Structure 1
């Protein structure tokens, strides 16, 4: 009867949709149950008897061993999120081409008995890749302007916070160039908001084309944009603006919006090491922008460079 119960228990365990690994302190795969959901898992029974270090590259194997040791020492269940790709698998880490990254949630519990004369854990792995990708997509949507597909103000705040920290730590030079479209309201009033949207997208695309890959272009809202230019001083930023302004004058003609006074006015400032918050540099750039407007528009002014 007990033997029959053991057979039934094994069958029940093997029917689990997620794989459950019995792993010893030294990293031996002692047993594997479940993993029946073939949409997400391959048959892992060939791992039984192998060590984690035989399967995974050293950095990833050591991470697993540390997690196992931590659970065995605390004797409490631990939930951890981790990623795996072919770069983590011995023999596949040097394979050329994109590596698909899979995300897992691991629920790790210490067993009350030894396995092969070693303390051991039960590691239940749940594939969370689809959920992780959805979260990433939602996060990206929350930080992306839907019209221009540029980063929005929320992402600007995050980027500026990082750049401010780098400026304080390493003295990195970062120029903030804030610009908007002169007489943009006239475009909407004359041709309608659909044309206005076309102009916004065209201006943003043109600006992006003239920036480097290391630069960022962010839409603040309306017709206001910010270019973040790391490793760039005021002189280089001014040269960029002059090129951009010249190209905008050609773009105005191709968009058939001549005669409205459409142009580009900008203000620049540098991030300072003594800036207390990101709002300090944004305020300086905004003040420079309005100074340029007061001087007649379609030009650049600087503040704090």
Structure 2
């Protein structure tokens, strides 16, 4: 008689082999690249997973209720705002994340976007392809001596800060929860940061306190011509307000790697704004971080499943 293995549901189409090597005692079910709530509910009802590893999509109370033996929801990365944490707590389901696993990848992507904005990489490329030679008229933004303002100073923000310091920038950060600041990075209030920063880079989680924190009021404080980069969460920005700031020159360039609704629907207004650089929320996905996030997510699953059941004090 064959004994079936417990199931782990992955809301994606793959995991790093190194992660799979940790989970050989489980059956892995993939939900695909863009699973809907209905898709995930059907898979939970069919397979009754003990764990969900979250790559894409949101995990709602309805999905949790479709998996009566679910014990852990493990994020393939650090952002757990896509998981209904209140619903998980009410159902005694552990929520785990992998902070820092993709920090290097996101920090590198943030700097790629900062430099692309400051050095006009995309418009210069377009002009060259159209036959123009703008050497006598173009002037890029030199970052040395300019101010880099970081909103959020976790593992990613701290890396971005250190790189800014290496560029010779004045680095300031707003993070009411930060206990330490990297060398060369100074604490700032949010208002002071917005008023003084030539480059603003977002690295904070999406919470009720930070939702739409970049809006008409905060953008009005910004230094004219500032660059805004978001490799965190799309919900941090009020899109219509940013669009107006880009149009009137308050913000000279924006670079966006995350969006309020993902995947970005087409046609979308950002596709037609020349001073916006777009990428499809891939800042945290590199060859190395894919392995780090996968193994961290798998290890978190194993850690929780090795613990005795706490639900109502009943042991398995």
Report the TM range for the smaller structure's normalisation. Answer: under 0.3
> Please, what TM-score do these two structures have when normalized by structure 1?
0.23
> Please, what TM-score do these two structures have when normalized by structure 2?
0.22
Higher relative contact order (CA 8 A, sep 6+): 2
